[in-house]
Structure 1
Amino acid sequence: MEESMEEEEGGSYEAMMDDQNHNNWEAAVDGFRQPPPPPPPPSSIPAREPPGGQLLAVSVDRKGPKEGLSMGPPPPPEANGVIMMLKSCDAAAAVTKAAPTPTPGSTININTSTSKFLMNVITIEDYKSTYWPKLDGAIDQLLTQSPGDYIPISYEQIYSCVYKCVCQQHSEQMYSDLIKKITNHLERVSKELQASPPDLYIERFNIALGQYMGALQSIVPLFIYMNKFYIETKLNRDLKDDLIKLFTEHVAEKHIYSLMPLLLEAQSTPFQVTPSTMANIVKGLYTLRPEWVQMAPTLFSKFIPNILPPAVESELSEYAAQDQKLQRELIQNGFMRGDQSRKRAGDELAYSGSSACASSRGYR
């Protein structure tokens, strides 16, 4: 009884699946718009469906019956392949329509944020709020330090700040800030010199000049990348020359006509100003502007060679008289020439003449 019921149920299910597969096959062929293939001759029709057909039907229709049940004829491979390809294309088109198309603006924002994250972009706000304050503080300390003082700054950190700002295209802004910073400092120095009394004027000018030139020995190397990739390349100048020019314009030019008379007066009075101070100032003025030699050629010739024309034989007596005058002034100020007991008689004049010639040749 139970076996007969199973056979009836199995038969009805097989019949239903035969109709369904047959309808699917016809629909697939109609969709491909090709005429159905001609039926094979009767002698070639097998008595049973080959196992491969059942397996193919099971693998294609995953919601179909279990293995072992009879299936209808499979759809033609060509038509099934084309239909599956068309279905996959339709599915891809549907997914494309469903996904929002990115706008050009959103793509640019993503790339910008990514590149900023990868390259650590320094914006102009970052430069003004973070990087320049570090450079500003270091420059302040370098400009105001005394010779031999220890400055608690990290030269490596400052050098790295300059390098990063140059790489991020902030060289022009950094150069402008540096020039403005040093210009303001030199204007303050000039005002302090104007308020100095005459007896301290030369010494204070020497301190200001030496302090500034010493600061340049540290400032210029720290900004070497800006000098190489901006000032020399785009401005065709040199950072050290620009900074020396700033001192010339804002300090030396404003004080040269007050300073030179004091230097000439000090020259006429030996040791009123120490020789080292006189040498530093005269050499410094010549470095700033060589044309200033014309204001006092004799003064400059005592510290810089080849300022005056070469000595001539007709002027040797004049040179000897100048040398003897200098010796007398030194003796009057307490400077002795040492032990003269071993000198022979008559050597004094010969010594004076030879020393005068030697000193004259050295000055000239």
Structure 2
Amino acid sequence: MEEESMEEEGGGGGEPMMDDQNHNNWGAGGYGRHLLGPAAAAPLGDRFLREAAAGTPAGTELSEANGVLQGCEPGGAAGKGGAGAIAAAININASTSKFLMNVITIEDYKSTYWPKLDSAIDQLLTQSPGDYIPISYEQIYSCVYKCVCQQHSEQMYSDLIKKITNHLERVSKELQASPPDLYIERFNVALGQYMGALQSIVPLFIYMNKFYIETKLNRDLKDDLIKLFTEHVAEKHIYNLMPLLLEAQSTPFQITPSTMANIVKGLYTLRPEWVQMAPALFSKFIPNILPPAVESELQEYAAQDQKLQRELMQNGFTRGDQSRKRAGEELTYNGSSTCASSRGYR
């Protein structure tokens, strides 16, 4: 696995990396930074014992600085050659022991750290709007931070993608089983629930995003997770969903305006080129979809506005207090101006 560089941004002497109370006092001298160099590749005791068995080159000895054993110039008390290396490895002091105790092996990650993340992601993906989620965001954030420092980012990213992909495949199957009269509403719920979950999931994995996804993969976590929904849900349902949306558009109040707006805006976010499937529908919720209005079509726009107002009145909506307006004024004047402005007429 590639080592992950988490160097401070800016010049030397920048602020230390953020920490919190759940990091268990990771040791003096900046534990996270020590793990990021080659010294973090294997437990120090084992490494030095292997070097001792192979014979340490003459003129080298082992010393300790800030709790990490490292090479230095001759003249110390640790001795030279293989014997000195063995002595240094055996006589690890208390601070180095504490360093070794904080090493997270891949087994630790799989048995302790990822299960905590897995459970939290489950709750976030399945919560309903306004639900209280009984998880410690600080603990999960700290868990991600430690795993990144210990070079488990690649495994954690792979586990996260697999976890969310499995969830979305289940969502897609549930939508496929939905009857037509519930299809639009259920798609809206699935889309809103997932986008809401991303607002929590992406910040929790901010360290993995910054020091692995952006640095090593040249991508962004939020973009990757939105792409997952596009591939595993939206693409599989767009050709069933769009005819239902067009039918609902032609029948006022078949679905609520807010539901229609949420879905259309969501589809545009997922894949803007889907506008070409129904430009008139998308233009009602996304600005500048259609070309600018022209003066010769103003009468047609006014007629469309009048038709919409009649349909609103037939469904119980009133035009308010008309006592101060001349008859037909709203239908002719406001109707044409509203339509023209909605199409970008100047």
Fold shared by both chains (TM-score > 0.5): yes
Give the CA RMSD over aligned residues.
2.2
Residues 127 and 165 in structure 1, CA contact (< 8 A), matched pair in contact too: yes
For 2:33, the equivalent position in structure 1 comes to none
For 2:323, the equivalent position in structure 1 comes to 341
Residues 267 and 299 in structure 1, CA contact (< 8 A), matched pair in contact too: yes
For 2:278 and 2:96, the matched residues in 1 are separated by: 62
Following superposition, the deviation at residue 210 of structure 1 comes to 0.3
Task: Call closer, same or farther: CA 1:269–1:226 in 2, change over 3 Å.
Answer: same
With CA pairs under 8 Å and 6+ residues apart, which has the higher RCO, 1 or 2?
2
For 2:317 and 2:99, the matched residues in 1 are separated by: 73
Code of the residue aligned with 1:164 in structure 2: it is K
Following superposition, the deviation at residue 334 of structure 1 comes to 2.3
Following superposition, the deviation at residue 330 of structure 1 comes to 1.6
Matched ranges for 1:110-189 at <5 A: 115=96, 117-119=98-100, 120-189=102-171
CA displacement, residues 117-149 of structure 1 (integer Å, 9 cap, x when unaligned) = 415100000000000000000000000000010
Q: Give the counterpart of 1:226 among 183, 201, 208.
A: 208
Matched ranges for 1:1-364 at <5 A: 102=83, 115=96, 117-119=98-100, 120-345=102-327, 348-349=328-329, 351-364=331-344
Code of the residue aligned with 2:253 in structure 1: it is F
What SS is found at the alignment partner of 1:271?
coil
What SS is found at the alignment partner of 1:169?
coil
Code of the residue aligned with 2:339 in structure 1: it is S
Residues 304 and 363 in structure 1, CA contact (< 8 A), matched pair in contact too: no
TM-score, reference length from structure 2: 0.71
Code of the residue aligned with 1:156 in structure 2: it is E
CA displacement, residues 274-325 of structure 1 (integer Å, 9 cap, x when unaligned) = 0110010000000000000000001000011111111110110110111111
Task: Call closer, same or farther: CA 1:109–1:258 in 2, change over 3 Å.
Answer: farther
Following superposition, the deviation at residue 206 of structure 1 comes to 0.4
For 2:340 and 2:234, the matched residues in 1 are separated by: 29
Larger Rg, first or second structure (1 or 2)? 1
What SS is found at the alignment partner of 1:334?
coil
In the alignment of these two chains, the number of paired residues is: 262
TM-score, reference length from structure 1: 0.68
Following superposition, the deviation at residue 363 of structure 1 comes to 4.7
Following superposition, the deviation at residue 102 of structure 1 comes to 3.8
Runs ≥4 residues deviating over 3 A? 101-117
Unpaired runs of 5+ residues, structure 1, are 1-100
What SS is found at the alignment partner of 2:316?
coil
